[in-house]
Chains A and B, each alone.
Chain A
Amino acid sequence: MALLDLVSEEIVKIPLESKDKPDTLRELIQILKDAGEIDDLIAVLKAVREREDKQSTGLERGIAVPHGKTAAISAMKLAIGIAPQGIDFDSLDGKLSKLFFLLLAPPNQSGPHVQALAEIAKLARSQAFCEALVHAENAREVVKLLKGE
């Protein structure tokens, strides 16, 4: 399954309301809960926090890619959150994170999970595109940008 198959307006939130990292992780997962994509928010949060505790998924240039594997879902899930003002996500370059891609997968879909994460990694290399996403006005615009429309 390609990353784009996971993209819809329902899994995009702009702007995020959280002001710190723990709340941001919860808010990203809440996007999926509100969209009916997950049932067990606590189990998913635990999986994401376990990964985050090893090392922050806040990368450089304002992008963060929290991710995890959990048996609480049966298919890959993506949530996109955008915080134009930036959130302290303990990023590798010390700067605030503005663009969040949360990607979850069940334990038996490591291949598709890796593929989807690799697509995010490639996307993150385009600074101009990431800037465009951060400055999008709403979820519809984010989806249109991702689809290259």
Chain B
Amino acid sequence: MSIPIRKIMVYIDGTEQSITAAQYAICLAASCGAELFVQYVVNTRAVEELLKARIFLHDEQVEYERDMEADAQRYLDYVSGLAARKGVAITKKHSKGSVHKEIVDAIHENEVDLLVIGELSRIGSRRDEFYDESEQAMRGVPCSVLIVKDQERVWNMYESMG
């Protein structure tokens, strides 16, 4: 019988929900012996849209992209530390562009079996303008998707893991 989950990818964006997802992914990877990828996407697509809409100035584009690069490094290092505490090795993935497209591409490139993402917005809207990048990725990836909820329970699970 083949192993159902050999490669897990967790998408993080610095939100609490995504860090909770990372904790859950660490626990899951440890329990089933799966390889764990941690993906952060610097959303340069959105920055370009803001520049085009003239909400951002050029120096804001530079500033925010620099800050997002720093955030990427910080959050990837943080999750790496969380994983190391539990003896789980991770592969850090860092790209820039359109978030959902980069996630889909990374899933294909690394032949990921399971995408783990943080809880989606609790408030839905029927307006197209309000879109969640994670939700778009969830709809576009070819693999199964796990949405992590219940931050407190996940934290306790992570903390109690040997």
Give A102 to B108 CA distance when docked, in angstroms: 39
Q: Which of A14-22, A27-35, A40-48, A109-117 contacts B (4 or more CB under 8 A)?
A: A109-117
Within 8 A of B (CB), among A44-91: 51, 54-55, 57, 59, 65, 67
Quick one: which of B13, B121, B123 contacts A111, CB cutoff 8 A? B13
Closest B residue by C-beta to A118: B46
Q: How many A-B residue pairs have CB under 8 A?
A: 100
Q: Is the CB of B43 within 8 A of A121?
A: no
Say which size band chain A's interface belongs to. Answer: 35 or more
Contact in complex: B67, A110 (CB < 8 Å): yes
C-alpha spacing A122/B127, complex, angstroms: 11
In the complex formed, the residue of A with least CB distance to B123 is: A4
B150 interface residue per 8 A CB criterion: no
Interface size on B, residues (CB 8 A): 36
CB distance A112 to B46 under 8 Å? no
For the complex, is B57 an interface residue (Cβ under 8 Å from A)? Answer: yes
Most-contacted residue by chain B among A67, A111, A112 (CB, 10 A): A111
Interface positions of A (Cβ within 8 A of B): 1-5, 7, 51, 54-55, 57, 59, 65, 67, 92, 107-115, 117-126, 129, 146-149
18 contacts between A and B (CB under 8 A): A1-B17, A2-B130, A4-B124, A5-B122, A51-B60, A57-B55, A107-B67, A111-B42, A111-B71, A112-B13, A112-B15, A121-B49, A122-B129, A129-B127, A146-B125, A146-B130, A147-B124, A148-B125
Besides A112-B15, A115-B43, A126-B129, 7 other A-B contacts (C-beta < 8 A):
A5-B122, A57-B55, A108-B71, A110-B64, A110-B71, A117-B50, A117-B56
